[in-house]
Amino acid sequence: MNFLTALVTFENLHEVRRLCHWGPVIALTVIAVCSSMAILDSIIWYWPLDTTGGSFNFIMLINWSVLILYNYFNAMFVGPGYIPLGWKPEKEEDTKYLQFCRMCQGYKAPRSHHCRKCNRCVMKMDHHCPWINNCCGHQNHAYFTSFLLLAPLGCSHAAFIFIMTMYTQLYERISFGWSTVKIDMSAVRRFQPIMPFSVPAFAATLFALGLALGTTIAVGMLFFIQMKVILRNKTSVEAWIEEKAKDRIQYYQTGEEFIFPYDLGRRWENFKQVFTWSGSPEGDGIQWPIHAKCHQHTLTIEQLKQKADKRVRSIQYRVVEDYNGACCPLSKGLNTFFRTPCTEEPRIAGARLRGWFPRRCVEKCHYDTAVTSAMTSETSSEEKKVK
């Protein structure tokens, strides 16, 4: 298995620390609760050694659990694939089409983005998923999407077992009155199961049913979102970039025609870029198959245009009060807790500092300080020449 290979390699042993995070703890707890309760309830409801149907039901239940855990751990430990530190393209002239990452001290390859959590530039980054405590990207996209498919299927099967167990166990214990419904858990059933179905067992089954149904709905929606972008050979980040590209062209009326470069035109071809029989995705994570009317840097050039447009439309603020970065700044007044923060962009005081600050600590500049400073320097240089 790929994730076992990653774990036994000495330099990758630190990857085990990814389990020590609230996301994997919650995800594995939900899997453990639903799987264990489904196995116990299937023994109560449909003893697997008596009939062929019971055996098939039990085998499928074990199969779901194994497949879910296999794809989950592969998505976590195989990882998305990272751009090498200090990477630059083979052709020096291609650097003008790429963004430079100051954190990795290298250029961002096409389709790669820097992840703040992983602190690396990720190949074909889709998003950072807290449930696997890792990024979803080039190398683990298929495993992650398979997990999103298998988890709702397994939970649906488990939910069916929970419902049938409660129905069969409570059917002979429920009595209906004119205005009441009584459940006698102490009543002796006609056919006693191997394991008793007591009040704690009923409560645990009901709780597991809620987890299974919630997981089916939530993770099922994520699966359809992922398949929507995969069939167009996009990522969630690239879908957002494409939307901004269309807005930019419409706003400035440039007359450009933006064609997403990685959509190969056919859904099956796009599907095969992620899902393969070997489990390893197509490509090396740097060079990509592209549309006939595009080239390798079509999307990166559009990103540079959007960055330039963002700088033009940015608003500058001047600091008027000191702020120490406290989470609960009581000294800045109660309005701080009811108003949105001013920014979390990494352009505070010219340094790459991320965070937020209360609005009362700054005031909006009514002029462009960059342009003003440039004009001032030009004026002073001309004065020196005159003197």
The whole-angstrom separation of Cα 218 and Cα 216 is 6
Indicate which residue of 115, 129, 135, 155 is catalytic.
129
- 129 counts as catalytic: yes
- Total Cβ atoms within 10 A of residue 302: 20
- pTM of the complete model: 0.82
pLDDT tens-digit map of 193-217 = 556 677 888 899 999 999 999 999 9
Looking at residue 179, its pLDDT comes to 55
DSSP 220-277: HHHHHHHHHHHTTT--HHHHHHHHHHHHHHHHHT-------TT--SSHHHHHHTT--T
From the list 170, 12, 124, 33, the residue with the least C-alpha distance to 76 is: 12
In sequence order, the 6+-apart residues with CB closer than 8 A to the CB of 321 are: 332, 360, 361, 362
The whole-angstrom separation of Cα 45 and Cα 76 is 35
Strand partners, 175: 182
Is pLDDT of 117 > 70?
A: yes
Looking at residue 172, its pLDDT comes to 63
Strand partners, 135: 128
Token pair recorded at residue 269: 């071809």
Looking at residue 177, its pLDDT comes to 52
Least confident range from 52-61, 64-73, 224-233, 365-374: namely 365-374
Residue 278 DSSP class: T
Token look-up 């988890």 returns 151
Looking at residue 263, its pLDDT comes to 95
pLDDT tens-digit map of 238-293 = 999 999 999 999 988 988 889 999 999 999 999 999 999 888 888 899 999 999 99
Give the residue with greater pLDDT, 362 vs 300.
Answer: 300
